[in-house]
Structure 1
Amino acid sequence: MDLTNQHVLVTGAGSGVGLAIARQLDKLGCRITLCGRNEGPLIELSSSLDNAQYFTCDVTDRVALDDALNQARQSFGPFSIAIANAGSAEARPFSKISQQDWQQAMGVNLDGCFNTFQATLSDLLGHSEGRLIAIASTAGLRGYKYASAYSAAKHGVIGLVKSLAIELGPKNITVNAICPGFTNTPMLQRSIAKIMQATGADQAKAESKLLLDNPIGRFIEPQEIADAVVFLCQSPASNGVTLKLDGGAP
């Protein structure tokens, strides 16, 4: 797929991985619609890009998302690529997960992906080809201590991706997931701070706990995920893929 002038939706675009994806696609000539919950970062990012617009909305609110996308189409036309990047993670023992905690994890990580994909599907069906990409996690491929709700939600994302790849592949729409390990984002820095507070460890020791199983000994950078997004956009043979970016962790 030639990415020039493709209309791309990026959710969770205000920081971290979403920001890196938006910047990379902007360099390749895409028209980008940014969505997120916090307006300030979206204003700053959209003003730094060549051809971008932003809308403040929560991906768990389907009515608000549909309204934002309808407005986006008026400027940039139908979408041809949707990247479901919005997500959140909270570490908590299973016994201490409340119903609200569980619903929040499912809402942002799984329902948000469902809403993003379904809200753009009719647009993609109108193109000769389309791309649906979920930014999942290695938590969607394995379990993590104190992350049962997040891991369950991301496993659901992987199941959604694999099912849609079979359903939509014959219609020239590829559906893939990128599964990063611990990534150098503000969300990771908050997790490190919590480890430091809970254990009394300094930052280096807190980071080492998260890198224990990582053969390359460093966190994944958002730009590496953005590069993987470009690869999946340009590769018509990649469908139903769960692209693991974690340095080779078991």
Structure 2
Amino acid sequence: MSAATHAVVTGGGSGIGLAIARALAGAGHRVTIMGRNPARLDGALASLPGAASIPCDVADAASVEAAFGAAAERQGAVGILVNAAGVARTAPFESSSDDLWNELWRINVMGAVHTSRAVLPAMRGLESGRIVNVASTASLKGYAYVSAYSATKHALLGMTRALALELARTAITVNALCPGYTDTDLIRDAVANIVAKTGRTEAQALASFTATNPQGRLIEPEEVVGAIAWLISPAARSVTGQAITIAGGEIM
């Protein structure tokens, strides 16, 4: 990919999305970060010189259309789309309401559908294009107490693979990154929730996540960046429809 490529990162205001945005900006790409929280986006821009931010709710098709239209006007057609926006909710299956299921479906699945639809018409006219969906090891296995999250991440991977085949005769690749439990606000919030509900210590709650990784730790957001750098490079032009697992050997 040319270093002048316009890259959009949804969920780019924090966590994995922000780490990816920093790497893309550092490599010389024109970066636009999107998210629902304007204040968080503004804070993220402090570490993203030259980048732009546009508030966007990926679950809302009209919001996506407006945001991506504005992004293209400012920085040109999108050649790299990283779908890092996502939410997780923890609850037993029988306590997971329709509202919870619908929220996760709209953000984790339809969010990537909306953004991919928004970029594809112009991306087809570029020399090459990359769509990278930040999925999860929950795309590849089940986890107790996150049935809705696991289901939506399985769906996201299915969409990734199907779209990759539809675009196989083009210069666009579509792949998914599947990190294990990662040191982000999502995990910190989950740990706090476990402590509040169960009375377990923070260390005990954290251990329930690190225990799934044979290396006994959380994945760092920066570890996902190297996989992105490879997937958007010319060397990965034949890599499409793949689930790249970053999980310390949890899944083989």
**TM-score normalised by L of structure 1:** 0.97
What's the CA shift for 1:219?
A: 0.3
Match of 2:248 in 1: 247
Matched, 1:162 2:179: no
Match of 1:215 in 2: 214
5 Å-filtered alignment, 1:61-72, equals 61-72=60-71
CA distance in structure 2 between the partners assigned to 1:118 and 1:238 by the alignment: 21
SS at match of 1:171: coil
Match of 2:28 in 1: 29
What's the CA shift for 1:132?
A: 0.5
Which residue type is aligned with residue 109 of structure 2? L
Are 2:211 and 2:217, in contact at CA under 8 Å, matched by a contact in 1? no
5 Å-filtered alignment, 1:163-202, equals 163-202=162-201
Matched, 1:48 2:47: yes
Taking only the aligned residue pairs, the percentage that are identical comes to 39
CA distance in structure 2 between the partners assigned to 1:150 and 1:31 by the alignment: 32
What's the CA shift for 1:103?
A: 0.4
Deviates more, 1:50-59 or 1:174-183: 50-59
Match of 2:128 in 1: 129
Match of 2:38 in 1: 39
Which residue type is aligned with residue 212 of structure 1? A
Which residue type is aligned with residue 94 of structure 2? S
Which residue type is aligned with residue 188 of structure 2? Q
Match of 2:110 in 1: 111
Structure 2 unpaired stretches of 5+: none
Are 1:30 and 1:51, in contact at CA under 8 Å, matched by a contact in 2? no
What's the CA shift for 1:48?
A: 3.0
What's the CA shift for 1:50?
A: 2.7
* Runs of 4 or more consecutive aligned structure 1 residues displaced over 6 Å after TM superposition: none
What's the CA shift for 1:51?
A: 2.3
Which residue type is aligned with residue 6 of structure 1? T
Which residue type is aligned with residue 245 of structure 2? K
CA distance in structure 2 between the partners assigned to 1:100 and 1:165 by the alignment: 30
Which residue type is aligned with residue 104 of structure 1? E
Q: Deviation per CA, 1:132-178, whole angstroms, max 9, x where unpaired?
A: 10000111111010111111111010000101111102111100000
Are 1:19 and 1:45, in contact at CA under 8 Å, matched by a contact in 2? yes
Root mean square deviation of aligned Cα: 1.0
Are 1:175 and 1:240, in contact at CA under 8 Å, matched by a contact in 2? yes
What's the CA shift for 1:46?
A: 2.1
SS at match of 2:207: helix
CA distance in structure 2 between the partners assigned to 1:47 and 1:75 by the alignment: 19
Which residue type is aligned with residue 176 of structure 1? N
CA distance in structure 2 between the partners assigned to 1:5 and 1:41 by the alignment: 25
Q: Deviation per CA, 1:46-77, whole angstroms, max 9, x where unpaired?
A: 24323211111100111111111111111111
CA distance in structure 2 between the partners assigned to 1:247 and 1:32 by the alignment: 29
The count of residues paired between Structure 1 and Structure 2 equals 249
